[in-house]
Structure 1
Amino acid sequence: MRAEAAGPLPATRPVVLGTVIGMTLALASPARAEPSLSALDAPSLTTGAGVPEVGGDLAPSGDASGVPGPSGPFALPPTANTGLIRLDAPDFPYGALAPPPGEPGRGWNVTPSLGLQLLATDNLDLSRRNKRSDFVTSIIPGLLLSMDTARIRGIINYAPSIQFHTAEGERNRVDQRFNGQVLLTVVPDEVFLDIRGSGATQAASGGYAQQGNTVLGRDNRIQTNTVQISPYFVHRFGGLATVQVGYAFTAVQQDLGSNGFGGGANSGAFTPSGQRYFTDQDFTANEIYAIGRTGEDFGPLALESRLAATSYNGTGVLDGAYRRIASMQARYAITHSILALVEGGFEQQRYAGVPGIEISEPVWAFGGRVNFSPESWIMAKYGHRDGFNSATVDAVIALGGRTQLFANYAERLTTGAQRAVDLLSTTTLDEYGNPVDAATGAPSAQPLTDSLLGVQGSLFRIRRGAVSVSQSWPRDRISLTLSREERTPVSIQVGTAAFSQRGTSASLSWAHELTPATTAIGNFQYGRFTTPGAGKGDVLSASLTLATQLRRGLSAFAQYAVTSSRDDFVSGRALQNVVLVGLRQTF
């Protein structure tokens, strides 16, 4: 679930009201997000504790942060958010935001809030045979902290949900939900400290609507907490080159059935046939890296070299694992709008599990980018990495003045716990602390809140693609999203079973401003899946929400949602009705 907004709410923005009620809707962010931490244009996927693959686009020249980007093929059109400064790299920790030297910031803004939600359901577990009603009271304290000074910039949104069940008291729990990204300038223009973190929950079994107010018992809920700290040094040699050296420490914890603070009591998640497919996961990662890039003196040609080494200390397939890569990329600006790239290098990877995985082989890729306008572009490449050939695509295309299309596709060799780090590295935060895709500016489909597929602890090759179209009008916003994800096990955690999974989903969202203070939001989701907790099946979910601002700082909402699902293990369909009302007061 998307973190809730905690600040005073402009009554005229249905986008904000959608955020207040904590709904994960595609309409809950602007068509072209203007994140408060960075204005990154096209990052690549990460490869470990935060090292991005070669191929991310870099910032324009003349960056006032002291790390100017080149004026040749790495230069990008300026983003709409002109008040932001971009460092000379596309993604974390290289793309962190820094204030211009000597420029005074806007200071600190602390917005506490308190929310109350009342939920009634006639089928707590979305069951076909054992329907149980319950009434759930949730208390949601919130703290939205934004910082913008000459030395520190960032945003932190912490909104834990404390839940009390009337009929099922043993299910009382605390869901930790937070997002934060903070950059400290230690030495102006040279030394920085980047700190990031997130916390979210999802269904262990899968078989639920992709995003939304999923009602889960404690024994079927996985809490994922991630923290990453990276100090780094940057130095520019005039227009010749820029060098960056850094270190990143990462800690990730995934707990099943915990009370929100770790230490889950369960021994794992099991299929109805008794096969265990998930046990609690945790790891720490230590990474060192060095990057060198040519500057504007090279004209239309740009070169970039990267060295990175990440070692893991954790459970399951990450016990003693490592990732190491050395690569070189060359880009050439054929025209002002067309860029070509080629890259090569060598990688080594190791994972525990059955079978043990060791990769030691060359990596390569070729591709390019086409800029249609400052707000419309496509970047694609094809290459060999992680032991297989694959393609990567990121695109945002303006279809007229009111319609935008977002698209992305990528393949990864990764685990569920490592995807938590990828989320930190490939997203930035909007003004309310909600993650948005740093490549396209689209609302982020967080893998740690997606409950369509089950959560497994093994190593997988994951293919994921998504296309969304959004249209904005003065009083309406409509979004349609289609996505597909396939997971193939590569190395199985000892003591568990691993299963291939597939999921195809579609969602349609529509927000309509009824009055300057009141907005109606409709959401429809449908997904087909194969997942270890439910076999093959499908799930359909629809909701209607009315959100209003009662007075400055006080908002209210009411929602009705219905979910219908089926799977292979029990015949028939399960039906769940949910009524949810809530209040939130900001101070």
Structure 2
Amino acid sequence: MVAITMKAPENKNRHIALFSAVYSAATAMLLLPFYSYGQVQPQFGLSPLAQPQLMQGRDAPPEAAGPGGWRILPRFSLRETFSDNVRLRPEGEARSDLVTQINPGILLTGRARRYDVNIDYTMNNLIYAELSDFTRTRHQLNARATAELVENLFFVDGRAMMFQQNASMFGPQGIDNVNATGNRADIKVYTVSPYLRHRFQDFASTELRYTHSIVESDTIALRNSQRDSFQAGLNSGESFRTLQWGFNYSNQMIHFDRSDRNVELERSAANLRYMVTPQFGLTATGGYERNSFISIRGGTSSPTWTVGFTWEPSPRTSIIANAGKRFFGDTYFALARHRTRLTAWDVSYVEDITTFNQQAGFGGINTAGSLNQLLNPNINPGNIQPNTQFLLGQGIPGDALNFLTNRLFLQKRLQASVAMNGASNTVVLSIFNMSRQAYSPDDVDTELVGGENLALLRHTRQAGANALWSYRISNLTRANLSGQYAKFYFLSTDRVDDFRIIRLSLTRQLRQAQPNLQGMVELRHKERDSNQAGADYRENAITASVNMSF
């Protein structure tokens, strides 16, 4: 079998990309001038729909709250990285290079009673001393806004994201934009979601929501998509404390560009929850799902049901779990969270029929987010994210890869993490296990990966573990050690890849020179061992950086 690398373009028109970022930020600010503070009754019997869920009103985590008004926080970072294998090539083909990154950025936040806006943008300029053809500019945007347009009735959520990721599982796996692998793709996600909410006093609450989202990529062979989603729910209110009920409906229609492919995913269900005690409840759902897409694994529609429980023994601990049947067979869902003064624990298991486009921007457990809560529980995560990422070097690697594919697939995803923070030590541990089984024919990915590699994506599994230890040497200095091990299984073939990453860094706040100036030095080793000939590589790199906010 011949292994190929998807050619994700390394150079794009910079002015067009910058215009898209500015346009997205301006749209979020102009479109959403009011804040939503309504609250949705949870669909306690159903697994979450496989689509991005926008933070909204009191559904947003409490740490997102902050003082009213607008705040602008410019920032700038300069990074120098020397790599002895900047393209992650096999032994004998390695090329070393010095890469300079000049990264201006800005964080804009605005909050009032009827609006909440958070826009975080970074321009990632990469300059290669030797391989100058790879010099380029990347744009990274995370913008969200929520608004209350008509008090207690009409709301709008919006989200815009621009980010980079590895395109394929079998190509070289970069952990940032420095490695010029040809396996890096730019992804853009735009979402707008108007909705109506109403409370019938303590009897019930209802929500009617429409969502339109666009997913785009600079990888031409990946079909861009538009998704139109309709959701309706009627759920019992405070009057029903012992026996709670709900009716929920969802319909998603996905169109893939440059093709005649359309996918429809529809689900209707009724929910019941019986509260055995004020903290413990038994749940059940029953309904029907009607899906319309070309399947290689039989029927796509059937009755659906689940049974399970909810348990909230304290405000800091909650567990939701259920099991049942769907058209693809047995199905399971679990979500558990626990917080103490010094620790944050998260476990989740989700399975659903989905697409790359739906998963773009929809992650599992956010380990870095949990650490943000632990270190700064009362500060807006957007404000402290740069400091937390600085603490970690370049963040926590090792989340399962949402690799590019045009197929529908059954995804089963398990994630667990714990973050522990002491007076001098911070420790983060996480594990993940994600499998994907294709439900669409192979030929929809022919242009993307080539005919000889189609079997690689029929059935895959990713499993791994990550560990971080950060030691506070003084009030201004930290030492950080992190390691990752991941294994990629291509279950329709005999290929298996092993990944190892280890990083050691020293970070220091340089207050003598500038109050908001920080510096970092990092050593990194990265390697892949594969039973596929020509797929092994090794890299050693050293990075020095300074970061400043104004």
Picking from 241, 252, 259, the partner of 2:215 is 252
Q: Is the 8 A contact 1:469 1:480 kept in 2?
A: yes
Change (3 A) 1:499 1:215: farther
Change (3 A) 1:542 1:162: same
Long gaps (5+) in structure 2: 1-36, 373-379, 386-391, 447-453
1:537 aligns with 2:500: no
Partner SS state of residue 170, structure 1: helix
Shift in Å at residue 384 of structure 1? 2.4
Partner SS state of residue 396, structure 1: strand
1:547 aligns with 2:489: no
Picking from 516, 526, 541, the partner of 2:475 is 516
Shift in Å at residue 154 of structure 1? 2.9
1:576 aligns with 2:534: no
Picking from 109, 121, 143, the partner of 2:83 is 121
Give runs of aligned pairs for residues 31-70 of structure 1, distance below 5 A: 46-47=48-49, 49-50=51-52
**1 CA distance for matches of 2:502 and 2:488?**
18
Q: Is the 8 A contact 1:209 1:525 kept in 2?
A: no
Change (3 A) 1:230 1:246: same
Q: Which residue matches 2:143? A: 180
Per-residue CA deviations over 1:302-334 (Å, capped at 9, x if unaligned) read 111112222122148992111112111111111
Shift in Å at residue 471 of structure 1? 1.9
Shift in Å at residue 192 of structure 1? 0.9
Residue range with higher mean Cα deviation, 165-174 or 214-223: 214-223
Shift in Å at residue 453 of structure 1? 7.5
Per-residue CA deviations over 1:393-449 (Å, capped at 9, x if unaligned) read 111235x7534432111112112221015349999976343999xxxxxx9xx9998
Q: Which residue matches 2:409? A: 460
Picking from 321, 338, 345, the partner of 2:287 is 345
**2 CA distance for matches of 1:575 and 1:200?**
25
**2 CA distance for matches of 1:406 and 1:434?**
23
Shift in Å at residue 342 of structure 1? 0.4
Give runs of aligned pairs for residues 500-515 of structure 1, distance below 5 A: 500-515=459-474
Match of 1:116, as an amino acid? L
Match of 1:382, as an amino acid? A
Q: Which residue matches 1:224? A: 187
| TM-score of the two chains, using structure 2 as the length reference | 0.78
Q: Which residue matches 1:379? A: 320
1:192 aligns with 2:189: no
Change (3 A) 1:216 1:406: same
1:433 aligns with 2:379: no
| TM-score of the two chains, using structure 1 as the length reference | 0.73
**1 CA distance for matches of 2:222 and 2:421?**
42
Shift in Å at residue 538 of structure 1? 0.6
Q: Is the 8 A contact 2:53 2:362 kept in 1?
A: no
Match of 1:505, as an amino acid? G
Match of 1:411, as an amino acid? E
1:299 aligns with 2:241: yes
Change (3 A) 1:574 1:529: same
Residue range with higher mean Cα deviation, 570-579 or 528-537: 528-537
**1 CA distance for matches of 2:172 and 2:278?**
44
Give runs of aligned pairs for residues 316-335 of structure 1, distance below 5 A: 319-335=261-277
Match of 1:86, as an amino acid? R
Match of 1:482, as an amino acid? I
Match of 1:520, as an amino acid? A
Match of 2:520, as an amino acid? F
Long gaps (5+) in structure 1: 1-36, 53-58, 60-83, 88-94, 257-263, 265-278, 437-442
Shift in Å at residue 360 of structure 1? 2.2
**2 CA distance for matches of 1:533 and 1:159?**
40
Q: Which residue matches 1:419? A: 359
The structure richer in helix per residue is 2
Shift in Å at residue 41 of structure 1? 12
Per-residue CA deviations over 1:483-537 (Å, capped at 9, x if unaligned) read 1111111113525223321122111101111111222111111111125999312
Shift in Å at residue 357 of structure 1? 7.3
Match of 1:409, as an amino acid? Y
Shift in Å at residue 561 of structure 1? 0.4
Shift in Å at residue 134 of structure 1? 1.2
Q: Which residue matches 1:494? A: 444
Residue range with higher mean Cα deviation, 40-49 or 544-553: 40-49
Per-residue CA deviations over 1:72-130 (Å, capped at 9, x if unaligned) read xxxxxxxxxxxx9625xxxxxxx799x99xxx961111111122111110011222231
Shift in Å at residue 377 of structure 1? 2.3
How much is the aligned-residue C-alpha RMSD, in angstroms? 3.8
Change (3 A) 1:308 1:50: farther
Change (3 A) 1:384 1:224: farther
Q: Which residue matches 2:197? A: 234
Partner SS state of residue 239, structure 1: coil
**2 CA distance for matches of 1:511 and 1:142?**
26
**1 CA distance for matches of 2:236 and 2:525?**
56
Shift in Å at residue 158 of structure 1? 1.2
**2 CA distance for matches of 1:562 and 1:404?**
29
Per-residue CA deviations over 1:373-403 (Å, capped at 9, x if unaligned) read 21122211112235332111111235x7534
Change (3 A) 1:251 1:500: same
Q: Is the 8 A contact 2:107 2:119 kept in 1?
A: yes
Partner SS state of residue 362, structure 2: helix
Q: Is the 8 A contact 1:507 1:524 kept in 2?
A: yes
Give runs of aligned pairs for residues 135-146 of structure 1, distance below 5 A: 135-146=98-109
Q: Is the 8 A contact 1:96 1:183 kept in 2?
A: no
Change (3 A) 1:170 1:281: farther
Aligned length: 480
Q: Which residue matches 1:171? A: 134
Change (3 A) 1:510 1:428: closer
Change (3 A) 1:408 1:454: same
Q: Is the 8 A contact 2:50 2:359 kept in 1?
A: no
**2 CA distance for matches of 1:219 and 1:319?**
28
Picking from 306, 328, 332, the partner of 1:365 is 306
Shift in Å at residue 172 of structure 1? 2.3
Give runs of aligned pairs for residues 201-212 of structure 1, distance below 5 A: 201-206=164-169, 212=175
